């Protein structure tokens, strides 16, 4: 950091907020935005769908990665928004407003905080959540950077899509991608320098630092009659296992669909000597949507079939690959 760089310690809280507020998006559902003790938001649907998520420096991201990449405030702002909007999406809802808590060391540059606010706004716009806004927040001091975002949204008059509704015979489908963020994380942690990466490999870093969950897909799935849904934030095997458990079913994955996801990751996997299928099955943070649809339903455009839902038949709930257990296929370390 340059010696004359303005830091958070140089400004009062009011001074810092005055630099943040103009950078934040505001939407129609926020009746009273930042500046008072609390925000007031409208709830047109009569119900609120809400969620919260935290990112902590050195737990969820590093400011400086092994390969030389430096995480920007913009990255952290974008990712905070993406993770939270994705959870509302996974219920079939649409996010309407966020509150943001940012804790940071006093030597944090003010430009980093401004960049963070820009990342929040860009994430909302770039992910297609126009109308969602930052209704308020909190600034605090701490030993490292920590961001907590809470989000509220609307269900657009529909029932929420739960994890527990999948039934034998349903089609299992995915919107978005699998394994890209995990491949990006492996590149960040590798000793392959940033400058040596191809544009395609740089895009994998972006998938980790600024994920792009398919936000239009959740409400479309709900409207199409999805029986169960969740976003894949901890990996297909682990999250699929949770959906299978909640629904009391088996999820049978189609290896051909999995291989198609893995294909795009092959150059990065070759560079690192990794198995791309491990990223596809075990990697989270792309925030794709895993959903079950009744047989015969035309899948919304964003979705591709990746398997089917089967009855347990006396065995255990869980995820299979072409009918085989992950154990047999050799991926048991992804099964919870
Ligand atoms: Mg989730």
Local confidence band at 25 (pLDDT 50, 70, 90 cut-offs): confident
pLDDT of residue 292: 98
CA of 16 to the centre of ligand 1 (A): 32
CA of 85 to the centre of ligand 1 (A): 10
SS3 1: coil
The runs of H, that is alpha helices, within 127-235 are: 180-189, 199-209, 217-223
pLDDT of residue 327: 64
Number of domains in the chain: 2
CA of 90 to the centre of ligand 1 (A): 7
CA of 10 to the centre of ligand 1 (A): 38
CA of 288 to the centre of ligand 1 (A): 10
Higher per-residue confidence, 128 vs 332: 128
308 in the same domain as 265: yes
Q: Is residue 2 part of a domain?
A: no
Its domain, for residue 27, covers: 8-154
CATH of the domain at 32: 3.30.1330.10
What's phi and psi for 307, nearest 5 deg?
Answer: 160, -160
pLDDT digits (tens, 9 = 90+) for 183-208: 999 999 999 999 999 999 999 999 99
Say what percent of the chain tops pLDDT 70. 96
Q: Is residue 113 part of a domain?
A: yes
Q: What is the distance, to the nearest Å, from the Cα of residue 84 to the centroid of all Cα atoms in its chain?
A: 7
pLDDT of residue 144: 97
Average pLDDT over residues 131-158: 94
pLDDT digits (tens, 9 = 90+) for 272-286: 999 999 999 999 899
26 vs 316: CA distance, rounded Å = 48
34 in the same domain as 147: yes
270 in the same domain as 139: no
Question: Where among 154, 182, 199 does a domain terminate?
Answer: 154
pLDDT of residue 218: 97
pLDDT of residue 314: 84
The answer to whether residue 260 scores a pLDDT higher than 90 is: yes
Mean pLDDT across the chain: 94
Q: Is residue 288 part of a domain?
A: yes
243 in the same domain as 121: no
Distances (CA, A) of 322 to 251, 262, 304, 319: 10, 16, 17, 10
181 in the same domain as 32: no
Average pLDDT over residues 61-65: 96
CA of 37 to the centre of ligand 1 (A): 29
């Amino acid at each position: 950091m340059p010696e004359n760089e303005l830091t958070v310690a140089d400004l009062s809280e009011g001074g810092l907020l005055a630099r943040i507020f103009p950078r934040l998006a505001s939407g129609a559902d926020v009746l009273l935005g930042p500046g008072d003790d609390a925000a007031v938001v409208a709830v047109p649907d009569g119900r609120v769908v809400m969620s919260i998520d935290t990112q902590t420096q050195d737990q969820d991201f590093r400011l400086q990665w092994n390969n030389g990449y430096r995480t920007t405030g913009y990255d952290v702002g974008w990712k905070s928004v993406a993770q939270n909007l994705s959870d509302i999406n996974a219920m079939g809802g649409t996010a309407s407003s966020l509150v943001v808590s940012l804790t940071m060391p006093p030597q944090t540059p003010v430009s980093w905080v401004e960049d963070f606010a820009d990342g929040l706004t860009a994430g909302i716009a770039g992910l297609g959540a126009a109308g969602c806004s930052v209704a308020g927040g909190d600034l605090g001091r701490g030993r490292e950077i920590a961001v907590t975002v809470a989000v509220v949204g609307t269900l657009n008059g529909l029932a929420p899509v739960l994890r527990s509704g999948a039934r034998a015979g349903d089609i299992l489908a995915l919107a978005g991608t699998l394994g890209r963020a995990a491949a990006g994380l492996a590149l960040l942690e590798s000793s392959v320098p940033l400058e040596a990466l191809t544009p395609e490999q740089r895009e994998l870093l972006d998938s980790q630092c600024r994920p792009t969950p398919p936000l239009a897909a959740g409400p479309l799935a709900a409207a199409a009659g999805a029986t169960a849904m969740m976003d894949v934030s901890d990996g297909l095997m682990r999250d699929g296992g949770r959906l299978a458990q909640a629904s009391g079913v088996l999820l049978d994955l189609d290896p051909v669909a999995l291989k198609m996801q893995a294909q795009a990751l092959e150059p990065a996997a070759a560079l690192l000597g990794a198995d791309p299928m491990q990223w596809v099955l075990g990697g989270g943070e792309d925030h794709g949507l895993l959903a079950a649809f009744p047989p015969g339903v035309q899948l919304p455009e964003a979705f591709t079939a990746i398997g089917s839902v089967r009855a347990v038949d006396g065995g255990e709930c869980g995820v299979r690959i072409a009918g085989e257990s992950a154990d047999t296929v050799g991926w048991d370390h992804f099964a919870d």
